Amino acid sequence: MLGQVIRGESTAGQLLIAEPLLGDPNFERTVVLVIEHTVDGALGVVLNRPTDVEVASVLDGWAELAAPPAVVYRGGPVEPNGVLALARRARRDVEPPGWNRVVGEVGTIDLHSDPADLRDAVTGVRFFAGYSGWGAGQLEGELAEGAWLVVPAVGDDVFAADAEEMWRAVLRRQGGKVAMLAHFPPHPSLN
């Protein structure tokens, strides 16, 4: 844990949707699931940046548990050689070993666990190379500047089938004026 939870202000378990004009290529049109947000900072993973790296080629024994597509996702620019994983537990009444809830039935999973011990405990695992991180007060500053929209997450977001369409889909499901952002052109000068 990074520290104490920020009362009433934590974005843990929610999505950060990059505003169309964010201006940071690391986060252009990204959807970030915030895993932890405390007074000491925040940590999350980009959900919509799959790579071509197959899970089987880098994580021995985990490929059969990987949610399709069985590739590693780019979780963010921090520690790009490290891997973090999110797993959906198979049963609400059973907590898999090394699993910590983030949203719904989805939580982080300890990759030091034996994948064989998790076969009946999880229904899918998504792997992320690197993560998105913010120091104390940094995310709060970006939120105050309007760089991100904070919206509710659902467990299915972690395992979305169409990563390329995810940014638009999450915006559309918000309804109202927020949904209109889904039609914002990638480059406003081309409008």
Residue 189 has pLDDT above 60, yes or no: no
Q: Amino acid identity of 72?
A: V
Q: Please report the pLDDT score of residue 1 as a whole number.
A: 31
Q: How far apart are CA 169 and CA 122, in angstroms?
A: 26
User: CB count, 10 Å around CB of 144?
Assistant: 9
Each residue's pLDDT tens digit, 127-148: 999 999 999 999 999 998 889 9
Q: Comparing C-alpha atoms, which of 6, 77, 69, 75 is closest to residue 36?
A: 6
pTM value surpassing 0.85: yes
Per-residue pLDDT of 20-32, as tens digits, reads 777 788 899 999 9
Under the banding of pLDDT at 50, 70 and 90, the label for residue 185 is low
Query: How many CA atoms are closer than 13 Å to the CA of 41, on its beta-carbon side?
Result: 10
- Beta strands per DSSP E along 4-116: 14-18, 31-38, 41-46, 50-54, 71-74, 78-89, 99-103, 106-109
Nearest to 63 by CA among 131, 124, 129, 130: 124
pLDDT confidence bin for 179, thresholds 50/70/90: low
Beta-strand relationship, 14-18 and 148-152 = antiparallel
Are 32 and 45 in contact by the 8 Å Cβ rule? The answer is yes
